[in-house]
Amino acid sequence: MTVAPLSVLVVDDEPQIHRFLGPALEAAGYAPLRAETAREGLRLAAARGPACVLLDLGLPDMDGKEALARLRAFSQVPVIVVSARDREAEKVAALDAGADDYVEKPFGLAELLARLRAATRRALLVEAPVPLVTAGPLEVDLERRRARVLGQEMALTPREWELLAALARNLGRVVTQRRLLGEIWGPAHVEDSQYLRVYVGQLRAKLGPAARLLRTEPGVGYRLLEADG
């Protein structure tokens, strides 16, 4: 039985992006869908149910963040923002609005495809959360609240565990500073980024050979990688 390829909706008003990404997605085994306006993208997302959306922010008929908010009103499809806007505030706003990831233009195709694979894998696990998360030499048992590196159990404080668990639940995805601070320290501390810097440093020290998997996205947040690279 032939399995239909996953569809990927590319919402971008630059024809050259479609000329480049269309064949590249097909070569990677995806079925690309094309939209050059936000309204057309929203229509296709509702009608075709893509596996992932690659969304530009600078669309001619609507700001991409508004389009994302409208999309989130009816769909939880993974969204990777692909934009030339490189300001940290833009990244944070897009991620807080519901984007799963952010890639700056110009981008490397290999990186974009890796982010795409990670986003679609996460989507498959939404309905059946996995209590044991594995990232390289790191194992995080969310049910038993334990973590091991190379089989050696980590001694974590309650705050360190909450931080690691939050990142593990979003494996491969950027989690913004404000979201981590709100979830772990509460809404009154969403601006207290120094808390995160201290605890991320402590957590990295305890992760040992797995510390390389805990990446900082400057000015935006943190990401726990599935593996090196």
3-state class percentages of the chain: helix first, strand second, coil last, to nearest 5: 45, 20, 35
CATH 1.10.10.10 residue window(s) in the chain: 132-224
Q: What's domain 7-124's architecture? A: 3-Layer(aba) Sandwich (3.40)
Query: For residue range 141-193, what is the model confidence (pLDDT) as tens digits?
Result: 988 889 999 999 999 999 999 999 999 988 888 888 888 888 888 878 878 88
The whole-angstrom separation of Cα 172 and Cα 227 is 9
Does residue 96 surpass a pLDDT of 90?
A: no
Q: Residue 27 has what pLDDT?
A: 95
Radius of gyration of the chain from its Cα atoms, rounded to whole angstroms: 18
- The residue whose two tokens read 């990446």 is 215
Tokens in use for 11? 């919402």
**Whether CATH 1.10.1660.10 fits 132-224:** no
- The residue whose two tokens read 């991620």 is 95
Tokens in use for 61? 């008929």
Q: Residue 132 has what pLDDT?
A: 87
User: Could you tell me which residues come within 8 angstroms of residue 32 by beta carbon, excluding any fewer than 6 positions away?
Assistant: 7, 8, 9, 10, 18, 21, 22, 25, 26
Percent of the chain scoring above 90 in pLDDT: 55
- Pick from 124, 204, 198, 192: which is nearest to 167 by CA? 204
Does residue 225 surpass a pLDDT of 60?
A: yes
Task: Provide the 3-class DSSP secondary structure of residue 50.
Answer: coil
Query: For residue range 44-95, what is the model confidence (pLDDT) as tens digits?
Result: 999 888 999 999 999 999 999 999 989 988 888 999 999 887 788 888 888 8
CATH 3.40.50.2300 residue window(s) in the chain: 7-124
Tokens in use for 126? 């939404």
Q: Residue 1 has what pLDDT?
A: 44
